[in-house]
Amino acid sequence: MERTDIAIVGGGAAGLTAAIYAARERLAAVLIDDYPGGQILQAALVDNYPGLPEISGEELGEAFRQHAQDKGAVFLESTVAHIKRENDIFVLTLDDGVQTSELRARSVIYAAGCRHRLLGVEGEARLTGHGVSYCASCDAAFYPQKTVAVVGGGNTALGDALLLSRIAETVYLIHRRDTFRASAALVEAVKQTDNIQLILHTVPLEICGEKAVTGIRLRNQNDQTQQLLQIDGVFAAVGMQPDTAMVSDFVRCDETGYVIAGEDGITSCPGLFAAGDIRTKQLRQVITAAADGANCVRSAEHYLRTRKG
């Protein structure tokens, strides 16, 4: 059984930044991910990371990975199947697709991220990063004077529609019900925005296009009629699922499953630090994930220094 001081779970921006900072501090740390890079790899273009305008998500993710590697970070290409806590030690069960093994760690930086809830329609997977987006604050700037659709009925969906309305020419807001789960203020703001068109009682059936989004096929829930909207982009806002099942038994999470932690990454479980999209925070972006990774290393270093063993 291998041992380390810090096990970094997740190879996105948060995990890779943690690996860089841990390597610079000469800490015994291991990053575990079957394919480091994270969700940013799916982005066709990233235009809001300082100093690197108009870089592809694949290039940015690879730059993070290469930076960590150049600093001497240790990678385990595997997935974490289970985490348990034995006294002050974390035992991680790893699965590399061939066999399982165990890693014992004095601390864990948990940066497993979130999964976007998918629409589950034809064309979604093929066109993700090519007109299908799950982050309006990331990608809205790519649609000036274009036509886009937002799918969803909560605060995120309506907020995305308002953000896009300031950039795009027309925003279709598609929702399966006739009422919204969003706050009354957001609903009122959407209804007063001239270039947001509501399409209610409606669900998406297919996202159309070969190399880029060209349309979305819809079905009305009341009369089952179908229509095809000609659009340039689809923003899915039907929720996120934080990947916290492995730690929810011994760390406090909020009602939606996010690990409760501040910017220092400190959680209710001593020795376990939360970084990136899985922690409670206002903004989930690559830049805030990177900041979390750095802060968690600082917190983990202090934790290790004040404990024996």
Task: Give the span between the Cα atoms of 257 and 278, in whole angstroms.
Answer: 8
H or E stretch covering 132: strand 132-133
Query: Within its chain, how far is the Cα of 21 from the centroid?
Result: 21
Task: Give the span between the Cα atoms of 188 and 220, in whole angstroms.
Answer: 23
Catalytically active residues, by annotation: 135, 138-139
Burial class (CB in 10 A: 0-12, 13-18, 19+), 92: buried
Q: Dihedral through CA 282, CA 284, CA 287, CA 291, nearest 10?
A: 60
Instruction: Give 73's contacts (C-beta < 8 A, 6+ positions apart).
Output: 16, 19, 20, 22, 23, 29, 31
CA atoms within 13 A on the CB side of 155: 4
